[in-house]
Structure 1
Amino acid sequence: MINLFIGTKQKQSLKSVVYLQQLFIALLLLVLVTVIGTVGYIMIEGYSIIEAIYMTIITLSTVGFTEVRPLSDAGRLFTSILIIFNIAVFAYSVSILSRFIIEGDFRKILIERTMKKKIDQLENHVIICGYGRYGMEISKRFLKFGNSFVVIENAPQKIEELREDADIMHIEGDSTHDEVLVEAGIDRARVLVTTLNEDADNVYVVLTAKQLNPRLNIISRGSAINSESKLKRAGANHVIMPELIGGFYMASLVRKPDTVDFFQLMTEQEDTGVSFSEIVLNELPPSLQNKSLKEINSLELTGANVVALKSPHGDYIINPSPQTMIEPNMGIFIMGTNSQIQNFQKLVSE
């Protein structure tokens, strides 16, 4: 019954601990039999420490070297018992090492430890819950654009796929469990994306994540129509309904195919030289206080175009007037080359 309450990750960690304990026991037995042999030869045959250690080693290794000195009857009996005991210890040690190597647990433990160190160093990263179709696609996009992220998955088949891809940091576990989210560095993360199949599981992840990190930006997948309101009440900032988005996208391709292709090109392709970017002004620097878009002269100074604004209340202003005043916590959407966007970021941060 206890196993029902142990997560997949906990079981894997427990298994690794058991293997390490067995290896430690095997090593301890080898040391113990060496000590017993050394002490026995000193007491029974009167050997020196060096002679006793040498005699013990050649006896345990069964190399067949000649004894240091002829053994007494008591010495022969002791040697026979030592050999029999060593056979049992040797068989146990070989079985543990063989299973450890053949089953790949040694490699898995090394990978897990290395992965944990990397995850512990992450800051402002993204946590992806689930490595299904959506989680896999998100991971591909993040790898392409260099975003830091970690995947949480508990399906054995998916875990094997993740292990084969050394570029994806991952944790084996149930993302509805607090300790798994903590291990993924939820207190340091900036975004969590949950793509689980069941809406109930996504609601549970959102509730748990929001409790662990109230400042976290949470994006959740939703399946049922009525799940959107539930997920937002649980704490999700955005709820994505794949079927609705797919239908909207296909309808848009019918009505405005070139416009859809243009925006997809601008948001996904970096080789065009021009892209969109969003800059959030959490605090206004002195250079932007009580100034309008025209007064900051961004186009002439940076070459980047301001195409939209997002007010602190969440309202969008498309193609804003040059007289629009800059406000704290405002989002600015700009279009330009990478260098133009970087120049604009410098302008609004000075």
Structure 2
Amino acid sequence: MRKITLRIWTKLSTKYLTKGIILILLLFAYGIIGSYFIMGLNLIDSIYYSAITMATVGYGDYIPSTGIQKIFATTLALGGVVLLAYVFNIMLTNFQERMGKYSKGVRKMKAIENMDTYYVLCGYGRVGKIVLQELSERKQNVIVFEKNPEVTQDLVENENLVVINKDATEDDLIQKLSGNKCRSVIISTGDDVTNLFIVLTIRETNPNAWIVSRASKLENISRLKKAGADKVVSPEIIGGKDLYLESAKPHLLRLTVQHSSDEIFDEFKTIAKYDCTLENIDYHIPGIETPLSRQIKTMNIEDGKRYTNYLENNKEAKDALDNLYNAVNNIHSHLISGPNKDTLNKLIEELEKYETILGKNLTNKEIMEITKKRKE
């Protein structure tokens, strides 16, 4: 305990100590000068008299007799009492604050030790808040690193949540916490340089840590991966895709169809003819609500030709595709975006000439019921 107290005491802010020492020296100088000229004492006695008066000891060997001497002695004694009380109060308050922070830090580390596993979240901004919300809903243990205490002041710590208000780029604690008990390190600050530094810091000592980092700029994704991030996510890019899909919703069609793999190129030609884009394909396994999704994003007839040629020249790939179509009973959904509703309606009319259309804009649950019946 004595070592802990000494360590905290030695770390007291020099600002408070310096201010206190300066005030004491100024009062002491006032006492020496006043004792010499007002009390009529020599230099040594002036130093002695100033010290005992400031400390309110008052041995009585020098007694003020005149009015000016009494006023001087009173101001020196009162100044000493007030100043010493002020200085010690500042030092004691600062010491108590540091003791409180130390005790709080010990409690945090104890809470972390009691966690079986946990996630480390670096950065509690707008993205970090969403990540924490998702983790909390799944009852996961989370350690949040956020250097700005004002940002996390509304967070309530408990047995599942510990907040550490330190800079993850300057504290080696992040390295220790990224060890075996850490399920994943999620780096969500808005600064790619900070994210890169945190990745390098963790990867240096924890080669097996699973690191997921945010990237604000597209060109930094490759840099973060080279630094050691296992996954890099760009909320800006994802947000841009979502904005596009939302804006395209009035001209977005989910068409559930049934046809064999031999009719794929005919679909390509029809979709390209109407200047529509095939966004993705969902393959519906009978009895399972969630489909297998495959992103396409093409409206070019040349893409269809290349894909058809690839299947013709690669028997294994063609057999694998046929097996997939057989597994889903040839039922799949196309997400198609087009210039307008009239164009999409014309597209549907033409597709109906050579393939079976089971429905448009159906939910996965509705499609699951169709696949069950078709399978029977």
Question: TM-score, length-normalised on structure 1?
Answer: 0.45
Question: TM-score, length-normalised on structure 2?
Answer: 0.42
Larger C-alpha radius of gyration, 1 or 2?
2
